Amino acid sequence: MEQTPIFLPPLNALRTFEAAARLCSFKDAADELCVTQAAVSRQIRYLESALKTDLFLRAHRRVELTEAGRKLYTTVHRSLLDIAETSHEIQHSAGPTHLNLHVTSSFAQLWLVPRLNALRSLYPDLHLNLVSVDENPLVADKFDAAITLGLEEDAGYQSDFLFAEDIFPVCTPAFRDAHPEVVTLDGLVQQPLLDLDPQFWKARWWSPVDWNFWLRQCGVGSQPAKAEMTFSHFSMLLDAVLQDVGVGLGWRHLVQDRLDDGRLIRPVNNSYPAPTRGHYFVCRNDLAELPAMQMLRSWLLEQTAVFRNERS
Establish if 225 belongs to a structural domain: yes
Q: Indicate the pTM of the whole model.
A: 0.67
Q: Domains in the chain: how many in total?
A: 2
pLDDT greater at residue 62 or residue 228? 228
- Mind listing the pLDDT tens digit for each residue in 128-150? 999 988 788 877 778 899 999 88
CATH of the domain at 47: 1.10.10.10
Establish if 106 belongs to a structural domain: yes
29 with 178, same domain? no
**What are the contacts of 131-139 at 24+ separation with CB within 8 A?**
131/100, 131/101, 131/102, 131/103, 132/103, 132/104, 132/105, 132/108, 133/102, 133/103, 133/104, 133/105, 134/104, 134/105, 134/203, 134/204, 135/203, 135/204, 135/205, 136/102, 136/205, 137/102
Establish if 147 belongs to a structural domain: yes
Query: pLDDT confidence of 311, banded at 50, 70, 90?
Result: low
150 with 33, same domain? no
pLDDT score at 80: 87
203 with 263, same domain? yes
- Mind listing the pLDDT tens digit for each residue in 46-72? 899 989 999 999 876 678 899 999 999
Domain closes at, from 47, 73, 91: 91
244 with 312, same domain? yes
193 with 290, same domain? yes
- Mind listing the pLDDT tens digit for each residue in 153-174? 888 999 999 999 999 999 999 9
Residue range 177-186: mean pLDDT, rounded: 95
Q: Which of 13, 44, 19 is nearest to 32 (CA)?
A: 19
Mean pLDDT lowest among 31-35, 99-103, 291-295, 299-303: 31-35
- Mind listing the pLDDT tens digit for each residue in 102-132? 998 899 999 999 999 999 999 998 999 999 8
pLDDT score at 96: 46
pLDDT greater at residue 311 or residue 243? 243
Domain closes at, from 74, 91, 108: 91
60 with 174, same domain? no
182 with 265, same domain? yes
| Alpha helix segments (H runs only) across the chain | 11-23, 26-33, 37-51, 67-91, 105-107, 116-122, 173-178, 185-188, 198-202, 211-217, 234-242, 252-260, 291-303, 305-309
Establish if 206 belongs to a structural domain: yes
Mean pLDDT lowest among 46-55, 64-73, 261-270, 302-311: 302-311
33 with 116, same domain? no
Task: Tell me if 275 sits within 8 A of 164, measured CB to CB.
Answer: yes
Neighbours of 99 (CB within 10 A): 19
243 with 292, same domain? yes
Mean pLDDT lowest among 187-196, 202-211, 248-257: 202-211
Task: Tell me: pLDDT of 227 over 80.
Answer: yes
Establish if 111 belongs to a structural domain: yes
Task: Tell me: pLDDT of 101 over 90.
Answer: yes
275 with 243, same domain? yes
pLDDT greater at residue 5 or residue 253? 253
Host domain of residue 219: 99-312
Domain closes at, from 56, 91, 126: 91
Establish if 1 belongs to a structural domain: no
Task: Tell me: pLDDT of 2 over 60.
Answer: no
Task: Tell me: pLDDT of 279 over 90.
Answer: yes
146 with 291, same domain? yes
Task: Tell me: pLDDT of 310 over 90.
Answer: no
CATH of the domain at 211: 3.40.190.290
290 with 192, same domain? yes
Establish if 6 belongs to a structural domain: no
Task: Tell me: pLDDT of 289 over 70.
Answer: yes
Task: Tell me: pLDDT of 272 over 80.
Answer: yes
Establish if 66 belongs to a structural domain: yes
